Structure 1
Amino acid sequence: MDELEERVRRQLYRFQDLAEQMAAVRGRETSEDGAVMAEVDGNGALRDLQFSHEISRMSPDEFERVVVTTAAAAARAAFERRGQIVNQFNEEMAG
């Protein structure tokens, strides 16, 4: 019985670790020209968006494209990190 309780306790702690790791996931990307930096959380929600003076040289269409492309790249990075965390968790739980 003690062994079962310990196993369940370890799994509970591991679930708590997973939740903390998932909450901490961030994806950050900077555009090639350095004009835009976007940061998103593990759900893809925009957390930070910064611009350099380079945006003053862009047309509105270029600006829109760079912001969207950069934010999408940041979201991809965050989702990749989430996937790594989940895969690691699944491997640990299966073992």
Structure 2
Amino acid sequence: MDELQEQVRRQLYRFQDLADQMKAVRGRETSEDGAVMAEVDGIGALTDLQFSSAVSRMTPGEFEQAVVSTAAQAARRAFERRAEIVNRFNEEVAG
């Protein structure tokens, strides 16, 4: 019975670690020209958006494109990080 309790306790700690790691996931990207920096959390929600003075030289369309593409790349980075965490967790649980 003690062994079973310890096994359950270890799995509970693994799940808690997984949850903590998932909460901490961030993706950050800066546009090639440095005009836009976007950061998103592990579910792709925007957590930070910063602009340099370079945006003043952009047309509205260029500005829109820079924001959208930079935020999308930040989200891809965050999702890649989440996938790495989940894959590592699955390997640990299976092993």
Count of residues paired in the alignment? 95
- The equivalent of 1:79 in structure 2 is 79
Cα distance in 1 for partners of 2:41, 2:63 equals 22
- Distance in 2 between the 1:11 and 1:93 partners? 8
Letter in 1 for 2:5: E
Q: TM-score, with normalisation over the residues of structure 1?
A: 0.99
- State the 4+ residue runs in structure 1 displaced beyond 6 angstroms: none
**Matches for 1:28-43 after TM superposition, within 5 Å:** 28-43=28-43
Structure 1: 5+ residue stretches without partners: none
CA RMSD of aligned residues (A): 0.4
Identical amino acids, percent of aligned pairs: 79
Which amino acid in structure 2 is aligned with residue 49 of structure 1? L
Q: Gaps (5+ residues) in structure 2?
A: none
TM-score by length of 2: 0.99
Q: What aligned pairs does 1:16-95 form with structure 2 within 5 A after superposition?
A: 16-95=16-95
Distance 1:9 1:93 in 2: 13
What is the SS of the residue equivalent to 1:11? helix
Structure 2 Cα separation of the partners of residues 30 and 57 of structure 1? 17
